[in-house]
Amino acid sequence: MDAADNRLLTESGPGTPGGTVLRSYWQPAALTEELAGERPVVPVTLLGEELVLFRNELGELGLVKRACPHRGVDLSFGRLEDGGLRCPFHGWLFAPDGRCLETPAEPAGSTFHTRVRIGCYPVVERNGIVWAWLGDAPAPPLPGFDCFVAPSRQVFAFKGMWSCNWLQAHEVGIDPAHAAFLHRFLDLDEEAYGLQFRAMVADTGVPVVKLMREVPAATITAEPTGYGFRLRALRDFHGQFTHVRISNCIFPNAIAIAMSPTMTIMQWHVPIDDVRCYWYSMFVSYGDPVDAATLRAQRIDQVILPEYRSRTGVHDRWGFDAREQATATYTGMGQDINVHDQWAVESPGAIYDRTDEHLSPADVGIRTHRRLLLEALRNPSPATLIGAADPAAQRGPAAIDAATTGTDYDAAWRAAEAARRAATGWAPAIAD
Ligand code: FES
Ligand SMILES: [Fe+2]
């Protein structure tokens, strides 16, 4: 990786190749819960652009430039009234669709307002997240992924800020090798661990945490799909069965991974600017409806509102405790795997200098994504912007743990995935 390519891969602002690629897909702009309360107006910084998101009295959402087109003041301090957002400086009123409805400082009868617009972007609210379309092309429909088509009772959404470039965050998500190390728990009290690791591997009676600890090395392969690629990690458990873990890269900046036999996580890594990003997670349950109150309570203490900034970070060395590292966890940073991941993405620095890295064969997901992303950056086209041409046709993705005593690993996970989908009544079958 040379410095020029590293820069190409990590820029996201307007007019940059990276910004153009990311603007070819719907991106998460805010959680629905950020618009709760008496005054649904929030400043949003997305892909380096300063914006304001608001909901008017009619329930319509607007995502507009933050600077007033009159003289540039910050409209996140605007008055929410009369069907739009009114600038407190001279009273100009902006509708959710960008029209200027009034310029009340002008003489009566003035039509000046008809010649003014504020820049705005299409938004769609779905299952706890407000999605924004920042592209030049007309907004396509949202993708047909499970997190968008599932009934809202099956989905819980949350977010958090990381102090680093978006690509670092994404590259941890497409690295199935790290789970056996970064998220390893040293003692044997499986009951004490988080949901993800207490789950059993299919019907084997072996907890995932035990498998990861005893069989750290995996055989990882990547296979192209209509939305990006699928990662398959195989671990042979002492000759008794093969653990098959399926995760995904949804090009260019999302992942889908299994959390438990009945729950997957879709997670976007979206730039705030080039040195900060948000992860937006959608937890999708294929079984019982999600317990949103419990899931939120588990996460809300880890962040500082209103920005959802992580409480831990470089300032407190991610809570590192040497004694804990010697006796309980691989990292010494507590049992919350999100904190482990935060250290992994932030500690290389705000924009990691990839001219110094040494990718190994197990980094197949990262190498595959880099190759696809560089192709799209150099030549954005329907062929390289994977999945962008027909987002509504995207399905799934499958993200599941399975086990088999045979050697047809794909048949094993496909059977497990098909069975849990069929039982939902809403999750479509997966073709590719
Ligand atoms: S600066 Fe906004 S109305 Fe004048
Ligand atoms: Fe992780």
Ligand nearest 68 Cα, by number? Answer: 1
125, 158: one domain = no
Q: Return the pLDDT at 190.
A: 53
For residue 73, which atom of ligand 1 is closest to its CA? Answer: 1
Q: pLDDT per residue over 225-282, tens digit each? A: 999 999 999 999 999 999 999 999 999 999 999 998 899 999 999 999 999 999 999 9
Tens digits of residue pLDDT in 365-396: 999 999 999 999 999 999 999 999 999 999 99
| Ligand 1 neighbours by CB, cut-off 6 Å | 68, 70-71, 73, 87, 89-90, 92
Distance 170 CA to ligand 2 centre (A): 11
Q: Is the domain of 199 the same as that of 64?
A: no
pLDDT beyond 70 at 331 = yes
Whichever domain contains 199, its CATH number is: 3.90.380
CA–centroid distance, residue 84 to ligand 1 (Å): 14
Residues 286-312 have a mean pLDDT of 96
Looking at the structure, do residues 296 and 177 belong to the same domain, yes or no? Answer: yes
Per-residue pLDDT band at 191 (split at 50, 70, 90):
low
Ligand 1: atom nearest CA of 92 is 3
CA of 133 to the centre of ligand 1 (A): 26
Q: Which ligand is nearest to the CA of 181?
A: 2
Reported as a pLDDT band with limits 50, 70 and 90, residue 193 is very low
Predicted confidence (pLDDT) at residue 362 exceeds the cutoff of 50: yes
- Count structural domains, the chain: 2
Among all bound ligands, the one having the nearest atom to the CA of 67 is 1
For the CA atoms of the chain, what is the radius of gyration? 23
Same domain, 51 and 175: no
The domain boundary, picked from 97, 132, 167, lies at 132
pLDDT for 196: 54
**38 domain-assigned:** yes
Q: Which atom of ligand 1 is found nearest the CA of 68?
A: 2
Confidence of residue 120 (pLDDT cuts 50, 70, 90): very high
Q: Is residue 385 part of a domain?
A: yes
> What is the number of the ligand closest to the CA of 345?
2
Structural domain contains residue 267: yes
Closest ligand 1 atom to the C-alpha of 105?
Answer: 3
Residues 404, 292 share a domain: yes
Q: What is the pLDDT of residues 22-77, one digit of tens each?
A: 999 999 999 999 999 999 999 999 999 999 999 999 999 999 999 999 999 999 99
**Residue 277 shares a structural domain with residue 236:** yes
Residue numbers of the domain that contains 31: 27-132
Shared-domain flag, residues 119 and 258:
no
Residue 196: inside a domain: yes
Identify the domain boundary among 79, 107, 132.
132
297 is a domain residue: yes
- The domain that holds 119 is classified in CATH as 2.102.10.10
pLDDT tens by residue, 48-61: 999 999 999 999 99
Residue 1 lies in a domain: no
4 domain residue, yes or no: no
Residues 193, 113 within the same domain:
no
Looking at the fold, whether 115 and 167 belong to one and the same domain comes out as no
Residue 271: beta bridge partners?
277
Do 51 and 103 fall into the same domain?
yes
Residue 198, pLDDT > 80, answer no
Q: How much distance in Å is there from the Cα of 179 to the middle of ligand 2?
A: 6
Mean pLDDT of the chain: 95
**Mean pLDDT over residues 90-105, rounded?**
98
Domain stop point among 89, 104, 132: 132
Mean pLDDT of 79-98: 98
Q: Are residues 178 and 293 in the same domain?
A: yes
Q: Is residue 71 part of a domain?
A: yes
Same domain, 168 and 289: yes
The residue to mutate among 79, 90, 112, having the most atoms of ligand 1 within 8 angstroms of its beta carbon, is: 90
